[in-house]
Amino acid sequence: MADEERKGAVTFKGNPLTLIGPELKKGDKAPNFELLANDLSPVTLESFKGKTKLISVVPSLDTPVCDAQTKRFNEEASKLPFDTVVLTVSADLPFAQTRWCGAAHADKIKTLSDHRETSFGKAYGVLIKELRLLARSIFVIGPDDRIQYVEYVKEITQHPNYTLALNSLREKARV
């Protein structure tokens, strides 16, 4: 089965781009994925079983908006419920992610690379066909592996809505 293509789903500086994979919605079961940790070990959805997952997806940590987005979620991570993990996913190499985390003192998040297989990008509908990078997006996945919040940022040079993403985590914690 060919991967679904969503032409014009996002733009880069106003130019339309094609995303590969489905557009996920609140309530959907989160698809599995295989990413690489900084030590090159495989990481899957199952690796965070029973936890709430905030997945911040960025095109590349070495760009200003991605840098700011990742730093913001690193700062917020310590204020979140203890059973929440904050993951940053990009197509950057694990070595570049490790370097970035050290330089940014980002120690409250986990960076994971989709460089090898683009498994996450295809499963979550964020793989940019023309660039082989991931589109800026946010996914909040509950301990039951159901998506409780999703944002695909239409213009990938723009920031996501931090407040809505963080509020979706806090709402779940009060239930």
d(CA 144, CA 109): 21
35: left (phi over 0), alpha (psi -120 to 50) or beta: beta
Q: pLDDT per residue over 111-127, tens digit each?
A: 999 999 999 999 999 99
Catalytic residues: 66
CA angle 27, 32, 35 (to 5 degrees): 130
Return the residue matching tokens 């590349």. 60
Residue given tokens 């999703």 in the structure block: 150
Low-confidence residues in the chain, pLDDT < 50: 1, 174-175
Q: pTM for the complete prediction?
A: 0.95
Residue 172: what pLDDT?
Answer: 57
Backbone angle region of 135, left / alpha / beta, with phi > 0 → left and psi within -120 to 50 → alpha: beta
Predicted confidence at residue 60, as pLDDT, reads 96
Q: Where are the alpha helices (DSSP H) in the chain?
A: 64-77, 94-104, 119-124, 162-174
pLDDT at 10: 97
pLDDT at 45: 97
Q: What is the pLDDT of residue 155?
A: 97
Would you state the pLDDT for residue 169? 85
Residue 172: strand, helix, or coil: helix
102 exposed, middle or buried (CB, 10 Å; 0-12, 13-18, 19+)?
Answer: exposed
